Every structure is written in structure tokens, then in C-alpha cells.
Amino acid sequence: MIETVTRKRIEILTDTALVKRVTSAIDSAGITGWTITPVSSGKGRDGHWREERVMGTDKVFVLTIASEEKADALAEKIAPLLSSHGFLLSMWDVQVIRGERF
Amino acid sequence: MIETVTRKRIEILTDTALVKRVTSAIDSAGITGWTITPVSSGKGRDGHWREERVMGTDKVFVLTIASEEKADALAEKIAPLLSSHGFLLSMWDVQVIRGERF
Amino acid sequence: MIETVTRKRIEILTDTALVKRVTSAIDSAGITGWTITPVSSGKGRDGHWREERVMGTDKVFVLTIASEEKADALAEKIAPLLSSHGFLLSMWDVQVIRGERF
Amino acid sequence: METTALQTFTSPVVLFFVLGLLAAFARSDLAIPEAIAKGMSLYLMAAIGMKGGVAVSKSGIDGTVLTALGLGIAASFLMPFLAYALLKGFAKLDRLNAGAVAAHYGSVSVVTFVTAVEILEIQGKPPGGYMVAVMAAMETPAILTGLLLARGMGSGSSSQSTGEMLHEVFFNSSVVLLLGAFAIGIISGAQGFAEVSPFFQAGFKGVLCIFLLDMGLIAARRIMDARAVTWRMATIAIALPLINGVIGTSAAVALGLDVGSAAALGVLCASASYIAVPAAMRLALPEADPGIYLTMSLSITFPFNILINIGLISALATALSGQGAVTP
Amino acid sequence: METTALQTFTSPVVLFFVLGLLAAFARSDLAIPEAIAKGMSLYLMAAIGMKGGVAVSKSGIDGTVLTALGLGIAASFLMPFLAYALLKGFAKLDRLNAGAVAAHYGSVSVVTFVTAVEILEIQGKPPGGYMVAVMAAMETPAILTGLLLARGMGSGSSSQSTGEMLHEVFFNSSVVLLLGAFAIGIISGAQGFAEVSPFFQAGFKGVLCIFLLDMGLIAARRIMDARAVTWRMATIAIALPLINGVIGTSAAVALGLDVGSAAALGVLCASASYIAVPAAMRLALPEADPGIYLTMSLSITFPFNILINIGLISALATALSGQGAVTP
Amino acid sequence: METTALQTFTSPVVLFFVLGLLAAFARSDLAIPEAIAKGMSLYLMAAIGMKGGVAVSKSGIDGTVLTALGLGIAASFLMPFLAYALLKGFAKLDRLNAGAVAAHYGSVSVVTFVTAVEILEIQGKPPGGYMVAVMAAMETPAILTGLLLARGMGSGSSSQSTGEMLHEVFFNSSVVLLLGAFAIGIISGAQGFAEVSPFFQAGFKGVLCIFLLDMGLIAARRIMDARAVTWRMATIAIALPLINGVIGTSAAVALGLDVGSAAALGVLCASASYIAVPAAMRLALPEADPGIYLTMSLSITFPFNILINIGLISALATALSGQGAVTP
Ligand SMILES: Nc1ncnc2c1ncn2[C@@H]1O[C@H](COP(=O)(O)O)[C@@H](O)[C@H]1O
Ligand SMILES: Nc1ncnc2c1ncn2[C@@H]1O[C@H](COP(=O)(O)O)[C@@H](O)[C@H]1O
Ligand SMILES: Nc1ncnc2c1ncn2[C@@H]1O[C@H](COP(=O)(O)O)[C@@H](O)[C@H]1O
Ligand code: NA
Ligand code: NA
Ligand code: NA
């Protein structure tokens, strides 16, 4: 059996324009990496939005895998921006192989 | 430490043409929002498919975060369509910040 | 209440060029299906990359839901390629409806 | 006929389609990005719609136009019955899938039509500009017939999803774009079209080449993956375009359409939808199997029409028109 | 004016925009893929930039050019003050959102400008090629004024994000592409442009048609979803283009610009940005509500300008120039 | 030479590339959507393939064509040995990465070739149409040599992945599209090409402009991110195109090719692949570092060839041809 360890996976929904705010928070939390995936549309309290790349109303998911400790540091950093910047953050435990790299 | 609460995250794979069925089920379950992300291809019991937007054979993920109770209500609503409409549903617990909004 | 069962959800980040290696590992682990979603960019130990489809530097997520047993078999198969092929693998428990199909 | 067939196979448009088929069969990774393919299909519909509208703005609407429209609509309503009978009787499809497939064969394929127009023009038999309106009018009636067949008259379908489906049927993107561009063509006329013709006219055949390359790739890949399609279904996917093509062409000649327009109407009857109808079926009959209806219409009927049947129908229209008229 | 208005509504460019509006209001699923829409907007900016540069390479830079540049830059700096006053006073917006919206109305819309140029050319009053440079120069000053108004002078904003924002403002993709293509047009001149004109010139109006189709779809969908916009804001979104258009056109005529260029400057003043400024606001004022500024600029002001205001401004410029000059 | 270099830098094609480099270095967010970039690269390959095929359908295949083909294939097989030696000896790369990089330098860059053809045509030295076939033939041999070098003769690679890799090598999308369009050009000839030339011919240079804008952006962004590339590797990325260009041009002139074709062959030898070969390497040598081979070929060699080396090779071909022939 392959040995796995438990890490936190954090997913942050953000405007494309604000991605750098998120990724620099990740970098400064000492996390080794992140991955960005596209998002097409959504609905929240502010109503419906659609990806309109011409107008820059597109959003993305930034996801990163990190130790619990670093994940908490990141959540702490991002929390103040959640409301003002319209971020959405969720996190959960995952098992990874070669856990030393995270 | 930031305070987090536990919520359910539900992810439903659906044909683009049928997205509205899913999102109106979400709305009518009283959940505040949802997010749609693109999907490129897949394989299941019915064989291989590829995103072919011209023919409308593209699928998307609809994902939503909700309290356990609302998530169960949604699952209940969607379950009858799973087979007939070819949906795929999975859900798991996540931690979120500012849990009151879900 | 709808009855749900617990399954493993595995997500593998891979170069588009190497997708077939991953999906044939899934097929040969006896798992019934998989779904591929696009990825736009990322950063890891090897630095920053961006989707550049012309050069073929695009990556995707391959995700599959399977019983714990089959998921372990898959992890076993993929583990040796993680470093050499630059894959990233994480897995976690999810609840699904109609668990018999996975 | 000889020259006809030869001309077909030296036209870049058809050759790019063949290249797509071959590349996919050789398992090459050649692929057109989906956004580009979708963009090209919108372009082709806008261009064909405008060109038709400009033509009608010149020629006006007369009895022939109304005849062709009536014939097309009637054909779209009625053709699914024959298809349904064959699909249930010969191919042993269940009611649901038989109805869904029948809807595809009653409706039309825009790209088959466009390719036929290119070929007919090379052969010196250009169809009337109003045929674009006929095509748009033929897209939807078959969907209604197909649903009726699939569900039966007293179907228990919820009225909500029926309303949603009817809306989809009448406002689906290809109908809206074709008719919208047609109206724009009529309003702006030849003078307005002149401004935009370098884009919509001069680029048209080149875009069609690349689009058919993609269609070749998709059609061939789909048939290599196909599981659900039996030889009986494949036979029907060849037989229907032949039968419908003969019926449509003959009726059109009998009702007095010119050679080119009669051939075009035959091609419309022979063609099967793989854009508008699948989208409607996914909504209205989600339980029907796209693996059946898309493979039949796109991977068998479509290539058969492009490579062989357009040539046959064109020859038939010429022969029939020759019989009925003194001038060849 | 009659013919003018009529010509506007028989131009395919405007008709495709109307088609987009109608299709969205009818809740059709017609949609242009985002990658295609983005590609078209880049194409339009590269083409308009190059054409302007080539024109300037022929005409050279003289006093009129510098006057127009100065006027445009001053207008972009100053117009947000009036907008801000109206937005705070009449529409009761808070400081943050009023500043953000004001920035949009001080800046410009490339597509409104391009459509105006098409219409002015049809009317025989082509603006000078240098107006492209004026447009590019007007994109950013308003952003600075808007931020100042939103944040106040002694704002506590972190200097890091100000630097990031200023960089975004001066190197945002539309400014870079417009000015870059303008420079390429000047360097390569008419001879270099001849090589690429089939792409950048002949295809231009057709691409503009499809792009405006998409803009119509987006504008109408956005207003149907709109929650945050009140009737007071909607009123301002009509009043501002009227007021700014009159001011801009009059000033331009007074300073001696020709009819076409004066009308173009009026249109620039009347137009509101929905590409460059929203991107900058998302970075610099993430707390401001895009539901307000995008709906006002894109869903109200933009259609109003395309369908009505360009015609009014053109007529005004003709009337004013006629008064000031003996030759009509 | 003076005029040559000047002409290069007033061509919009080259200027858009420079604009892309500058915009990326200034950290502008200008970006072409990936789907559009991919679509443009497919368009360029289809167009260049067809044009070559049409040219050959006119000129026929003679001894010169076969000579050029043989020379190109031989060069592609052999050039990786020199590259490998330099990469291991001077740049201290390990066997795996040295072999992977060597494969890139033996193969060719379609866009470098296309840009060279544009420049050579402006200079009045158009290469023969058959050079497109030579280019297609040069794509793959180097991949085989590179793998041999990377893995050694008795490599323990599984036969499954070798088969997969060979399939990828011979049916990769650029080879299939280039050769397929070339065949279509031969079959449909000048007459068939006339129908589609507004799309494939008239639009070509404009698309090339936007594609090079994107290449400039990508090349500059990649080098700003580069970590793995040392100054020794950078030196080789400049030295190899110089050396290979001289060898290729001289051999071509010696074997009797005309000036334009000799220069084109020199450019092919000088160019390094960044489309077909990286895809093959990712499959066949997943352990090799794309950060090395893509940065060298795309961010150093490609701009060097576009901006400087094409001009040098063109001058060399003229000089050498002048020595060997009486007529200049
Ligand atoms: N901690 C992480 N969280 C999320 N994605 C990661 C992480 N580390 C690496 N990645 C992704 O995996 C890719 C390869 O990582 P690496 O092998 O470290 O260069 C990166 O480009 C990212 O897209
Ligand atoms: N409960 C939810 N589940 C998933 N996504 C959500 C949820 N609520 C909001 N979102 C996403 O977050 C975006 C912003 O939400 P809001 O700030 O509530 O307008 C929405 O447009 C959705 O894409
Ligand atoms: N075990 C699985 N894991 C992930 N995705 C799956 C799985 N099974 C099916 N899918 C996805 O669901 C789609 C429909 O599956 P099916 O209904 O089995 O044909 C497939 O095409 C896949 O995209
Ligand atoms: Na039909
Ligand atoms: Na303005
Ligand atoms: Na080379």
C-alpha cells in the first residue's frame, strides 16, 4: 500500500482581476504551489454573473494543497478580503502521496 | 484563529442543456448560490464523450455549498433525475468562513 | 432520506499530452468512468506555467470516483509516475447516490 | 454525372472534410478548439442568412417562394412518420429513441445545405436565395412531430418542461441567427451587404473548409467510439437520405421549382439535423440516447450526403427537370 | 436628420446589435463563445489602431491634432466631476460607487467610437485618423479622477495596490494594443498596411457586426438580471451621454476641428467605458459594485449611444459647423 | 543588407512581434485567448500547406524538388548530433535533456518559415512552393535522432510507449494538417484554390501579425519566468541557428537551389520547433524539463531568427548564389 498523508485543500473563488492578490497570499503563507481552473458562471447574493471576458467579469478557482498549519495561515490572510472582494473560500482534508512536498 | 463552520459541498455533473433543471432545484431548495465550471470530456457506462459545443454535447459541473439540511433537500430533489438525465452527484463536508451566508 | 454511500474521489493534475496514461490506468483499475476538466495555469517547484495550447503546455484535471479498494489500486499504479511525469494527486471521501455504479 | 462527381472531389471544401475523416481514422490528435468551431458555425449561419435575405430583397417574394416554403414545412412535419416507422419496425428502436431519431431526419443540416449550394453553384445550378428561409422554416416542425411520436398524444410530461422545450424549439440559436440575419439581409439590401461582403462573402468558402475539416474529425471519432449503433440503424441512416432526397426533389420539381432550388430542397429533406435538434432533444427527451441520434445523423448520414448524395440529388433534379421542360 | 437616422437603421452593423438585443430579450440561448468575443475585441482594437496610424503617417501631426489631443485629455480628466455630482446628488450613490461610475463616463468606449466612425463615413463626414490617438489618450485620465473622487485625497489605500493599479491603468491591454498598433501604422505606413489590409480593413465591418451582436446579447441579458440599478441611475445613464456629447462636440467645433472629427470627439465624450475601466476598478476599488457600473455603461448608455445619440451628435456637429463656416 | 534589415523592421508582421515582446516585458496583461491562438496556428498551417500544394501542382516535381527534400531530411536527421554535442559538452546538460533539446533544433518552426517567406517575397526572392513539403518532411526525423541520443541505443523504454510515441511523431497534428492541406492544394489546383483564396491567401498576413503578437507575448513571459536556463544554454540557443543556418544555406546553394529556396532551407535548418517536438517530448521523455527546451527554442532562438537571423541568411544566400552564378 502506498503511504498517504493528510493535507488541507483550499479552494478560493475570485475575480480574474484579483487573482494576484490570492496567489501572493498563498506564496507569502509559504505554500509551494497553486493551480487555477476556469469558471463559467454563477449566482450569489449579488445576483447572476456570466463569464464575459471582454468586460473582465470572469472568475476563476484558485486551489492549493498545504499542511493544516499553512492552510490556516492562508485562511487568516484571506478572511478580511472575503466580503470586500467577493471571494468564496472552502477547505477540506485530502490524502496525498509524497506529502513532504506540500 | 479564524472561525470556520462545516457545510456540505455538492457537485453535479450535467449536460449544459439541462443546467437550468439543476440550478432551479438549487434555488428551490433555498440555497443562496451556485457556481458552474466547464468540463472537457469523460467516459462512463455510455462510453466516451467529448465537449463538442457545436452539437451541444458539452457538460458542466454545477457546484454549491449549503447546510447539511438544505443539501439533503437538494439531493432528494435531484435523485430521481440522476439516471434518466445522466447526472453524476457527489458531496462532502467542507469548512467555510462566514458560514452564515450559506 | 436518500441513501448515500461513501466512495473515494481522486483528482490527478496532468499534462494534456499524458492524459491517456492516466485514463488507461483508471480503466485498468476497473473503475467505470472518469471526467476531465480544464486548468488555466499554476505554480509549483518548477515555477510558473500557463496554458499555451499552441505549445502544448496545457494541463487538465482527471477526476474519478471509485470504491476505496479500486482507488487504492489506482494510486498504486500512478504513484511511480508522480515525480517523473509531474502529476499531482489528491483524494478524499465523498458521498454518492446510487453507489452500485462506482 | 461523371464530371459532377469529379468536381465534388476536387473542391477544397469536400477535400477538407475527407482530410478530417482520414486524420481521425488514423487517430491523429488534430483538433479544432471548441470555441473556434462554435464561432465558425455561428459565422456560417449569419452569412448564409444574410446572403439569402439580400437575394430575396432583390427578387421579392412570389408564388414560387410560398410554394417552396409550404413544401418544406409540410416535409418537415411529415418525414418523421416514415423515419419512425422504419426505426421501430426495422431497427427495433423503442418508442422514445425512435421518436428522437425521427425528429433529426425531419429537420435539416445547415452545413449540408451550404455545401450543396457551393456544389450546385459550381455546376451552374444555383438555388434561389429564398431557400435559406425554407431551410430555417424546416428546422422546427419535425421536432414537434418527433416529440409527439416519442411521447404519444396523452403524454404525462409536465407542462413546465413542455413550455421550456417549445421555447427552446422556436428560439434556439440557429433559428434565431438564421432568421435574424435573413431579416438583416432583406432590410439592408445589396447596398448594405456590400459593406460587409468581404467578411461574409469572400471568407465564406474558406471558413466552410475548416469547419468541414472539424466535422470530419468529429464524425469519424464518434463512429469509432460508437457502441449503441447497430447495422440496422446504420442501414436506415443511409436509406433515409436516399428516400427523403428522392421524395423532396421530385415534389419540388413537380411543383415547378427551378433545378437548383429543387435539388436544394431535396438535399434539405435528405439531411439530418445535428445542431438544433440534439439540443432540443436533450431538453425535451433527456432519457433518449445521444449516442444513437448523433452517431446516425452526424457520423453516417452527414458524410453520406456530403460525399455521395448531394451529387445524386443534383443529377436527379437535372434529369427530372429535363423531362418536364423542353429546355434542358 | 431623417436620412441619417434611417441610414443608421439599415446598416448591418446596427442591425446586428438590434438582433442581439431582441434575441436576449426573447430569452434565446444564442451566445458567442467568450474566447471569440475577446478575440474580436482585440482584432477591432488592432485594426482601428493601425488604420489611425497609417492615416497620421500620411497627414502628419499638426496643430489640430495637438488641439484635439489636449481637448480629449482635459475632457477625460474633468467629465468625472460632473458625473460624480449627479451620481451622488441625484442618484444617491455612496462615494465609492459614485467615483467608480464617474470614471466610466469620463473614459471612452472603443466600439461606440468605431461604430460612430462607420456611420460618419457613410454620411460623408469621416473623422481624422488622429482621432484614434485621441481615443487612446482619453481612456486613462478619467480613471485617476474617479479614484480620487472615490477615495478622497488623503485616502488610506495601501501604496502597494496603488502602484499595481497605476500599472494596470497605463499598461492595460486596450491602451497597449491601441497605441502599439497605432505606432505600427505610423512606422509601416500605407505601403506596409497594403500587405495586411485584406485582414485588417476588408474584414473590419463584418467582425464589427458579429461583435455588436454579442454586445447586444450581453447588454440585454445584463439589464434583465439587473437588481442594483434604480430609475435614478438609469436616468443619469441617458442624461450623461447627452450632456457630455453636447459639451464635447461644441468645444471641438469651437476649437476648429472638422465636422467628422468634432462629431467623433463628441461621441468619445458621450461614451462610457466597459472594457478598460471595469478592469481597473475591480483592482483598485474591489468594494464597488460591478452590477452598477457595468449595467449603466453597457446596458443603458451603450445602446443609447449606438441607436440614438451618434445620430444626434452627428447632426449637432453638422449644424454647429454650418454656423461657424460659410461652406457647409 | 541595409535595406533588407530596414524592410524587416517596417513590416507589420515583425512589428507586431516586437509589440508582443515589449508588452510582456512591460508586464501588460495583454493576452490572446488560447483557443484563438490555437485556431490561428491551424489556419496558418492549412494556408501554407495549400499554397505550397497549388504551387507544386503548377510547377510539377522535378530533380530540384527531390534534392531539396533529401537535403532537408538529411539535415533533420543529422543536426541533432551537433546540437547534442554542444549541449552536453558546453552547456553541461544531462543526456536526457540534451537529447530532448537537440530534437527541437533538428526539427523546424513553421512560423519562422512563414515569416521568412514573407520577408523573402518582399525582397524579391520568393522560395519555391515545394519548400512547404520540405518543411513538413523535416519535422519528424530529428525527433527520432533526439530520442536515440536521449535514451541510448539499447534503451529500456517500454515498447508500448515507443509505439505511442512513433504514432504521435508521424500523425501529430501539424504534420497531418500541413501534408493534408498540401495534398488538397495539389488535387484542387489553382482553380480550386481560387474559390478559397480570399480566406487562405488574402487574410494570411494579417493573421500572421496577430499570431506573432501572441508569440512575442509568450516568448517574453516565458523568459521572465525562466529559472532553468543558464547563460551557457542561452549562448547555444544563439549559436545553433547561426551555425545551422550557414550549413543549410551553403549546402542548398551548392546543390543548385535558387536563392529564395536556399535561404528558406537555411532558415528551416536554423529554426527550432516549439509546437510539434515539445508535444512529442512530453509523451516520449516526460522526465525532460520543458522549462529548458521551450525557453531555449521559443524565447531565445525564435526571436533571434525572426529579428536578425532571417536577414543574415537571406544576405548569405544572395552572396553565395552570386558567387556561383553569373546572373545575380
Ligand atoms: N501545493 C500545491 N497546490 C496546488 N497545486 C499545486 C501545488 N503544488 C504544485 N501544484 C500544481 O502542480 C504543478 C506542478 O508542480 P511541480 O511539479 O511542483 O512543479 C504546478 O504547476 C501547479 O499547477
Ligand atoms: N452557496 C454557494 N455555493 C457555490 N457558489 C456560491 C455560493 N454562493 C455564492 N457562490 C458563488 O460566489 C459568487 C459571489 O457570491 P456573492 O458574493 O454571494 O454574490 C457567486 O456568483 C457564485 O459564483
Ligand atoms: N466513476 C466516475 N468518476 C468520474 N466521472 C464519472 C464516473 N462515471 C461516470 N462519470 C462521468 O459521468 C458521465 C456519464 O456517465 P454514465 O452515465 O455512466 O455514462 C461520464 O461521461 C463521465 O464524464
Ligand atoms: Na431532413
Ligand atoms: Na466619455
Ligand atoms: Na532546425
**Residues A72-84 pLDDT 10s:** 999 999 998 888 8
Cβ F111 vs Cβ F276: under 8 Å: no
Closest residue of chain F to C58, computed from CA coordinates: F34
| pLDDT value for F116 | 97
| Chain C interface includes B84 (CB < 8 A) | no
Q: Which of B52, B88, B89, B90 to mutate to test the pocket of ligand 3 (most atoms within 8 A of CB)?
A: B88
Ligand nearest to the CA of E76: 5
CA distance F34 to F84: 32
Distance CA D259, CA D324 (A): 11
Residue nearest to atom 3 of ligand 1 (CA): A64
More confident residue, D326 or A71: A71
E-strand stretches of chain A? 4-15, 34-38, 41-44, 47-50, 59-66, 88-97
Q: How confident is the model at residue B84 (pLDDT cuts 50, 70, 90)?
A: confident
Query: Nearest-CA residue of chain E relative to F118?
Result: E195
Classify residue B15 as left (phi > 0), alpha (psi -120 to 50) or beta. beta
Q: What is the pLDDT of residue E80?
A: 98
Residues with CB under 6 A from ligand 1: A 31-35, 63-66, 102; C 13, 42-46, 49, 86, 88
Mean residue pLDDT of chain D comes to 91
Question: Among D172, D193, D203, whose Cβ lies nearest the Cβ of E29?
Answer: D172
Determine the pLDDT at residue F225: 86
Chosen for mutation from D36, D43, D188, D283 (greatest number of chain E CBs closer than 10 Å) is D188
pLDDT bin (cut points 50, 70, 90) of residue C47 is confident
| Average pLDDT value for residue range F147-158 | 72
Q: How far is Cα F48 from Cα F124, in angstroms, rounded to an integer?
A: 19
Q: What is the DSSP letter of B18?
A: G
* Arithmetic mean of pLDDT over chain A: 93
Rounded CA gap, F200 and F202, in Å? 6
Of F171, F189, F199, the CB nearest to D206: F199
Q: In sequence order, which residues have a C-beta less than 8 Å from that of residue D324 and are 6 or more positions away? A: D253, D254
Residue with cell 500547406: F49
* Residue having the nearest C-alpha atom to atom 7 of ligand 1: A33
- pLDDT class for E107, splitting at 50, 70, 90? very high
Q: Which of residues 266-295 of D touch E (CB under 8 A)?
A: 279
Residue C7, classed as helix, strand or coil, is strand
What was the pLDDT predicted at D325?
Answer: 45
Give the pLDDT band of residue C83 (cuts 50, 70, 90).
confident
Residue D257 has pLDDT above 60, yes or no: yes
For E117-126, write each residue's pLDDT tens digit.
999 999 999 9
The mean pLDDT value for F36-58 works out to: 95
What does the pLDDT average to over E236-241? 98
Nearest-CB residue to D294 (from B18, B20, B55): B55
Q: How far apart are CA F135 and CA F107, in angstroms?
A: 9
> Is the pLDDT assigned to residue F250 strictly greater than 70?
yes
d(CA F72, CA F66) in angstroms, rounded, equals 10
What cell numbers appear for F265 in the block? 532551407
Ligand 3 pocket residue status of B43, Cβ below 6 Å? yes
Q: CA nearest A63 in C: which residue?
A: C42
Nearest CB to E195; choose among F9, F19, F205:
F205
Report field, pTM of the whole predicted structure over 0.90: yes
Cα separation of D130 and D134, whole Å? 7
Please check the confidence at residue E99 and state whether its pLDDT lies above 80: yes
User: Hey, which residues does A50 pair with through a beta bridge?
Assistant: A41
Contact C17 F294 (CB under 8 A): no
Give the model's confidence band at D324: pLDDT under 50 very low, under 70 low, under 90 confident, else very high: very low
Tens digit of pLDDT for each residue in B59-79?
999 999 999 999 999 999 999
Q: What is the pLDDT of residue D244?
A: 98
Per CB-CB distance under 8 Å, the chain C contacts of F38 are 53-54
Rounded to 5°, the CA angle F74-F75-F79 comes to 125
In this structure, which amino acid lies at residue A94?
Answer: V
* D289–B53 C-beta distance less than 8 A: no
- D286 contacts on B by Cβ (under 8 Å): 15, 18, 81, 84-86
CB nearest to A90's CB, from B2, B60, B96 = B96
Higher-scoring residue by pLDDT: A98, E84: E84
CB within 8 A of F256, min separation 6: which ones? F64, F67
pLDDT for residue E328 is more than 50: no
Partners of residue A5 on adjacent β-strands? A96
Of residues D163 and A82, more confidently modeled: A82
What is the pLDDT confidence band of residue F1, given thresholds at 50, 70 and 90? very low
Angle at D195 between CA D192 and CA D196, to 5 degrees: 100
Contact E72, E134 (CB under 8 A): yes
User: Angle at Cα D37 formed by Cα D35 and Cα D43, nearest 5°?
Assistant: 100
Contact E75, E141 (CB under 8 A): no
pLDDT surpassing 70 at residue F327: no
CB contact under 8 A, B57 and D279: no
Q: How confident is the model at residue A94 (pLDDT cuts 50, 70, 90)?
A: very high
E194 vs A86, more confident: E194
Q: How far apart are CA F47 and CA F42, in angstroms?
A: 9
Average pLDDT of chain E, as a whole number: 91
Phi, psi of C91 (to 5 degrees): -145, 155
Asked if B75's CB is within 8 angstroms of C4's CB, the reply is yes
Instruction: State the Cα–Cα distance between residues C81 and C88, nearest whole angstrom.
Output: 10
| Predicted local confidence at residue D151, as pLDDT | 87
Lowest mean pLDDT among B29-33, B54-58, D55-59, E255-259: B54-58
pLDDT at E325 over 50: no
pLDDT of residue D90: 97
Band (E323; pLDDT cuts 50, 70, 90): low
pLDDT of amino acid E159: 56
Answer whether A41 sits within 8 Å of B36, measured CB to CB. Answer: yes
Q: How far apart are CA D111 and CA E326, in angstroms?
A: 57
CB C74 less than 6 A from any atom of ligand 3: no
In angstroms, rounded to a whole number, what is the distance separating the alpha carbons of residues B73 and A46? Answer: 24
Task: Write down the residue that cell numbers 537529447 correspond to.
Answer: F99
Interface test with D, best of B20, B39, B55 (most D CBs within 10 A): B55
Backbone phi, then psi, for E239, in 5-degree steps?
Answer: -65, -45
Regarding predicted confidence, which is higher, E5 or D150? D150
d(CA D301, CA D295): 9
Among D218-222, E6-10, E270-274, F33-37, name the one with the lowest average pLDDT: E6-10
Kindly determine whether residue B35 and residue A91, on different chains, have CB atoms separated by under 8 Å.
Answer: no
For residues D214-219, average pLDDT: 96
pLDDT above 70: residue F57: yes
Q: Are C19 and C58 in contact (CB under 8 A)?
A: no
- The number of helix segments (H) and strand segments (E) in chain B equals 2, 6
Task: Quote the pLDDT of residue E327.
Answer: 43
E30, D177: Cβ pair inside 8 Å? yes
D42 inside 8 A of chain F by CB: no
Q: Which of A23, A28, A39, A54 to mutate to test the interface with E (most CBs of E within 10 A)?
A: A54
Q: Per-residue pLDDT for C1 more than 80? A: no
Report pLDDT for C53. Answer: 87
Distance CA A95, CA C92 (A): 6
Q: Answer yes or no: is the C-beta of C23 below 6 A from any ligand 3 atom.
A: no
Distance from C-alpha of E98 to C-alpha of D259, rounded to nearest angstrom: 65
CA–CA separation, F255 and F63 (whole Å): 11
Helices (H), F198-301: 204-225, 231-254, 259-270, 276-284, 290-294
User: Mean pLDDT, to the nearest integer, of E130-136?
Assistant: 94
Q: Report residue E256's pLDDT band, with 50, 70 and 90 as the boundaries.
A: very high
Q: What is the pLDDT of residues A15-68, one digit of tens each?
A: 999 999 999 999 999 999 999 999 999 999 888 888 888 888 899 999 999 999
Whether residue D198 and residue F193 make contact (CB cut-off 8 A), yes or no, is: no
Q: Quick one: pLDDT band at residue D163, thresholds 50, 70, 90?
A: confident
Surface-to-core class of residue E115, CB atoms within 10 Å of its CB (0-12 exposed, 13-18 middle, 19+ buried): buried
Q: Of the bound ligands, which one is closest to the alpha carbon of residue F135? A: 6
Handedness of CA D268, D269, D274, D277 (dihedral sign): positive
- Inform me whether the C-beta atom of residue A84 falls under 8 Å from chain B C-beta atoms: no
What's the pLDDT score for residue E132? 94
Q: Pull the grid cell for residue D117.
A: 449550394
- Residues in chain D closer than 8 A to E198 (CB atoms): 198
